[in-house]
Amino acid sequence: MPIQWDNRPPNRKWCGIRIVSVPANSSLAFVLLGDVLGVWTHWVPDASERAGGRTRPCIGDHCPHCAARIPTRWRGYIQALMWTSNASARWTEVVLELTESAALFLDGRELRGLGITASRAGKLSHVRLRIEDAPARGLPPLPDVRPISPILERMWGSVPDAGSERHGEQANKLSLKNDMG
């Protein structure tokens, strides 16, 4: 694997904040903090023979994944606290990835402070994400709402980069949408 040099200045506000996609056969507890940010994406299979892939944003007119006829799918992202029950049990700030049906379950509700569990049953990671209300107790003061597009852009490598016109062009074309399409 080549070394991934990266001389972009780190966005310190977001250092260490993870994007969480609930794995198969697991159930995680969250307290939601902001609103859902929607984006059109593609599930792009790995080039290697391993079964798997990753979510990449659709960049519109010149999108290579559209050209390859990979279907688009909507994903929602929301700032949240996640309960981690490893060595140090505590609430950790994350960005939670939602499917369309999960976002519809939350649509029209007051989300800030809402406690939920998000779970996937079964062995395949594409099985449906199920959201249920689960009021949380013993919460710390809720962190401020922050824009989450910067961390998505950083994860997807589309942050405008002084040394690369191509990256800047991609960032401009990254189509973040709040509607359900």
| Window of 51-59, 78-86, 134-142, 150-158 that interacts with Zn ion by CB under 5 A | 51-59
Stretch that binds Zn ion, among 57-65, 91-99, 122-130, 136-144 (CB under 5 A): 57-65
- Whole-angstrom Cα distance, residue 39 to residue 68? 19
The 3-state DSSP class for residue 99 equals: coil
> Which H or E element spans position 64?
helix 64-67
When binding is defined by CB under 5 A, the residue of 66, 142, 155, 176 that contacts Zn ion is: 66
Question: Segment contacting Zn ion (CB under 5 A): 22-30, 60-68, 109-117, 171-179?
Answer: 60-68
In the numeric block, which tokens belong to residue 43? 């599930």
Q: DSSP code of 60?
A: G
Closest approach of Zn ion to the CB of residue 160, in Å: 20
- 63, 129, 159, 171: which one contacts Zn ion (CB under 5 A)? 63
Residue 65 in the binding site for Zn ion (CB under 5 A):
yes
**Is 136 among the residues that bind Zn ion (CB under 5 A)?**
no
Using the rule CB under 5 A, is 58 a contact of Zn ion? yes
CA 165 to chain centre: 25
**β-sheet bridge partners, residue 57:** 41
**Contact between 91 and 82 (Cβ < 8 Å):** yes
Q: Which is nearer to Zn ion, 41 or 119 (CB)?
A: 41
